[in-house]
Each structure stands twice: as structure tokens, then as C-alpha cells.
A and B are shown apart, each in its own frame.
Chain A
């Protein structure tokens, strides 16, 4: 179950992907940082949790970011479809609260294909759509050595490639993603902490 992260990340262009887990925002920030062009972040207006542009500085320039606040999830999807199809925005992040049905998921995929843009859905756990290209689980990890942004990324669904688990860390100074080690290749392979 070892594979190269570079085969699955950066996320494949022209497709829509999914991520969940406590470090989903971190995953999205890294994905945005590695995408070209502007970023559109769509979320429902009632959400209390919001992104902090100063926290984003370590990942990418917040001037690239556009926000869209909508009334409900239907509008989130409509706006996302519009933006993906248009193609002048390179990366679209959608914060979702209820599962997509196959029709909605497929529509997003088709829109992304038309516009050659990449989409990323932040989904609640266990609410993935069958139409997604890949589904990731991201969780923060405690790093014993230094202050860091160590995360465990696990790809649990992949339409074009193998699954895998990686421990990664974002290098804020170099704006680069470092793979610390593939989990299975650790010298002392131990079960992951709960």
C-alpha cells in the first residue's frame, strides 16, 4: 500500500475531489497553494467557522482568493458549477454540509472538465459522493521534534490510481510540501495513534 504522493497530488486538473477530517482546511490550503490562478471559496453564509487570511499567508497570497457566501447548499453547487465551467478560476473550494447525490456530483465533474478547473469539496465525514475523482482524509498529527504542520493524508478513494497514506508537512518558507515518510516505510512501524 505504498505509492508515490506525486501520482495523486497535486490534485488532477479538470476533476472534482473531496476531503474530510479535522485537517480538511489545511489540505484545502495546500491544494490551493499548488494550483495556478485564482481561488474561489464557496460556503454557506451561516457558517461560524471562517478562514483567516493571515493564516493563509503561509500557504499562498490571499489576494488570489475570492469568497462567495450563499444562502444554502443548492446555491453553493450552482455557483461552483458556474465557476468551474467558466474556467477563469483555477481552483474552486466548496464547503458542503449534506451529501451530494450522483446527479449533482456528476454535474460538477462535467463542469470541471469543460472549464479545465479543479474543484475540492470539504465534506462532513462519511458523506462522500460516488462521482468524486478522489476522496481524502486529512488529520493533524503531533510532531515530536519541532513546531510544524504535520498532517496525515490518507487517500481512501481514487478513480485513477492507488490508495495510500502519507505524513506530510507544509514548508511555509519554501512554499513546498514535504513528505515526511510514507507510513508503512517507517523504521519502527507502529500503529497510528488513535
Chain B
């Protein structure tokens, strides 16, 4: 199955328009056409033509930048669609599908019926397609790209013999060389002596020929379906009680966790969709502090969200999906660990569960922890990270005394490089008794920081008669005093 104009078909499906249309892609500083639709092609536009040339040929050309990743996704969804015909479907290059319909063609009414059905459905979807059907993959490829057709069993060379040699999936240089030798059609190539050709072009040419003619086997590797972590429960009668919904959720969780376990995965984000009889649906999202697949641990975490959900006239379908999963290897549970936990020792899992429960209330990113960072700037000597996505790090080093609390610098009315004897801070009259310092900290010039625009800081630990021990700094380049922290 070859989709000659897949990218432009995809875009035009979303935004149908009449007239010539092209997708462009920037290559080596030039806008080049990436894919053109049928009208544009009739006007003589071609792939890889430069966009300015195309515009000169066709002034009313409508264009749009190409999006190859979206095309790949579109092709992948077409591949999923094609599994309706047979289970073995692979992707061929960037714009084709290869199906092994052996044994499944009769389901669609024979080969002719199958092809007609494919064409009809794709035409309705607005996707141009060329289909080749043959008993080898190479021959089907050749037929799809060079004059569609059906090659019956055993008539390999007869069906594709008249096609040009480029239908054999050869490199462009080989094709040109073969044409120079006068071998223009596949039948010419098949009739020629093999040994000199193999010597001249290497084994690939003969391999491709044999593959097309069926002398050499070639497999279709179907793409693996990515595992889908979703389960649902449809109820004959609507339910509304929290306990009932939780019981349903428990049943789904068991299924989902078994699936996760088989794949050695753990859920990170779960989504519970409660569909009500009036077709509205309620969603309960659960973000876990760590990958998890233990139903007994996950279920209580849903309690709060389910409780808050509005059942309306009743819920008749429950759907549970693990939206985000992470690898979670099977762990060996040791007896000693069990014993320790049974004796009331600290549980590692317990903390994760707690973070999750707190996270469902205040947001998982609001449960944080400090991690050490490499900087002399006091407010950058640590980073605050979400606890669910980081591990505790020790290795805190504090070479110089640092205050217990930090706040935004609060200016103090004082002058001179030595700490003031008396000053006012937060409406308190303070008298300096002892000052330790200065410790000079220079701003990090490679980072723009608004609060450090006053330049160097000389930090002092100032002890006052009133008891307060303050962390003050003087900015010599821009004279002034500020209080930035308080010691214990």
C-alpha cells in the first residue's frame, strides 16, 4: 500500500481546500516543496522543486510548512487501521504500509474484494493510495509504486517484468548504471547473466531481484502494539454510592495492576473516568509520588477524589487508565524487611503514599525537598525540587556560618563599610555588640540576577544586645546595608 501524497492528504483532510496546495520544507537554506497535491502536480509542480520556482509556475499556490513527525504519527494510525484486514501490518518507509494478507483475504471477499474495500475506505477518507498485491513483498512494492496491479501466485516475472528497474528498491546510482547498460526493465535484468552483474553491483542487486521474484524469502515484521494500560467496567445499572464506585475501582485496579506487572511497569499518573447516565463524565486524576502497581496501596489514594466526584443520576461506566507509566522492576521482598515493618519500623512505601495523598490535595509539585547546589550565592546554594521526582541527597557542606532563615534583603539605614553601632530593623532599635566578618561574596557574572545588581556583598554576622543575630551585608560598589537572614 503506497500513499503517494500522504503529507498533503493529511493536511487537506483537516482543512479541505480547492486548488494547488503544497507543503514546504527548509533544506539547506532553501524552501523546497515537500509534497504537492493532485492539482499542483497537474500544473507541473514536483517534489524537491524550490518554492520560488513553484510560485513562478503557479502564482496561486497555497502552501504550508511540512511536519514530518505528524506525518509519521498519521502513518502509524493508518497502520493501526490496516489491522482490520490482517494482523501482520508493517510500516514501509515513510509513506507505505505492508500487509501480509495470506489467509485473511477471503474474509473481505477475496483479493479483489479486499482491494476494492481498501480503496473505497481510503478514498472516502481523502487519502490517495496505490496498492500492489503480489506473492512477494518485493513484487508488491514494485506494483504499488509503478502501475498498480495484482500478480497472481507464481506469475512473478510475468507481472513485474515490464516494470522499470527502479521498481526493485535499488539505489539511484545503481539504477542509472543499469540504464546505461541498457537494462531498463526487470525482465531485461532477469534475462542477463547474474555473475557479471553481481561482480559489478555487489550482492544487493541480485538480492533485490530474487526477493521480488520469490527466490529469496523476505519477511514482514509487524509493528508491535504498544501495551495499552486502560481497563473499563460497564455496569448494567447505574451506581451512585462512594463504596460501590470504590469497589468497582478496586476491581479495575486489580486488572490494571496485573497488566502492569506483566510488563514490569508501574503507574505514575492514573486517570479514573466515571461516566454518568446522562453521558457527562467525571474525571479523577491521581498523580503518584513514585511508580506503583500495588492495588492495595493505590486504592485508598483514590478515596478522596472519588468522594468529591458528583455521581448525578448514577454512574454506568468506570474507566481506569494509567496515563503515564514508568519501568518498575519486580522487587524481591525480603523477610527481614517484612519483620522490620511489622515491628513498626519506618516504611519507605509509606512515605511515598503520604506524598501522593498530600499531593492530591495541594498539588504534587508543592511537596518539595532541598537539594544541594554548587554556588556561593546564598539563595542559590540549594535548589527546591518536587519530592516526588527527586531523591534525597546528602552531602550538604556548610563551610561558613549560614543563617537559619533567609528572606529578601531588607534595607537598613546605615553608612560606612563597618557594621553600624545602632540601627533600626523591622521597627526595632538594635545595638550591635559583636560583628563577625566580612565574608565577601561576588555575584555570578554569568547569570543575570536582578537582586545582585548592586555588585559585591560583604556579609557580616551581627550580634545585637537585644539578642537577635542577623546576617547583614554591605555593598561596597553601591554603598548600603541590608539584612538578609537571621541565625538561630
Contact = CB atoms under 8 A, between A and B. Distances in A.
B347 A79 contact: no
A183 interface: no
B405 A37 contact: no
Nearest to A30: B488
B403 A55 contact: yes
B408 A67 contact: no
A56 B366 contact: no
Given A37-B346, A149-B487, A142 B406 contact: no
Given A65-B369, A88-B354, A53 B382 contact: yes
Contact of B488 (A53, A55, A64): A55
A69 B404 contact: no
Contacts of B393: 63
Nearest to A59: B488
Contacts of B357: 82, 86
B394 A63 contact: yes
A52 B393 CA distance: 16
B362 A142 contact: no
B367 interface: yes
Contact of A52 (B397, B406, B469): B406
Interface in B370-428: 370, 372, 378, 381-382, 384, 387, 392-394, 396-398, 402-408
A83 interface: yes
A66 interface: yes
Contact of B370 (A59, A67, A149): A67
Interface in A51-75: 51-59, 61-71, 75
B443 to A, nearest CB: 18
B90 interface: no
Contacts of A141: 467
Interface stretch (B140-148, B169-177, B327-335, B458-466): B458-466
A163 B398 CA distance: 36
Nearest to B393: A63
B70 to A, nearest CB: 38
B354 A67 contact: no
Given A66-B369, A141-B467, A142-B465, A53 B396 contact: yes
B367 A89 contact: no
Interface in A76-96: 78-79, 82-83, 86-89
B368 A88 contact: no
Range of interface residues on A (Cβ < 8 Å): 35 or more
B487 A88 contact: no
Nearest to B468: A140
A108 interface: no
B138 interface: no
Contacts of B20: none
A54 B346 contact: no
Interface stretch (A9-17, A20-28, A124-132, A154-162): A20-28
Interface string B63-92: 000000000000000000000000000000
Contacts of B407: 48-50
Nearest to B391: A63
Given A70-B362, A71-B362, A139-B467, A48 B408 contact: yes
B361 interface: yes
A62 B405 CA distance: 14
A142 B466 contact: yes
B86 to A, nearest CB: 53
B362 A79 contact: yes
A54 B402 contact: yes
A151 interface: yes
Interface of B: 346-347, 350-351, 353-355, 357-358, 361-362, 366-370, 372, 378, 381-382, 384, 387, 392-394, 396-398, 402-408, 433-434, 436, 461, 463-469, 485-488
Pick the 9 closest A-B CB pairs, nearest first: A26-B488, A88-B350, A140-B467, A63-B392, A55-B404, A53-B370, A54-B402, A57-B398, A67-B368
17 contacts: A22-B467, A26-B487, A37-B346, A48-B408, A50-B407, A51-B406, A52-B402, A52-B403, A53-B396, A67-B367, A69-B362, A83-B358, A86-B354, A89-B351, A143-B463, A147-B434, A193-B467
Interface of A: 22-23, 25-26, 29-30, 37-38, 45, 48-59, 61-71, 75, 78-79, 82-83, 86-89, 139-143, 147, 149, 151-152, 170, 193
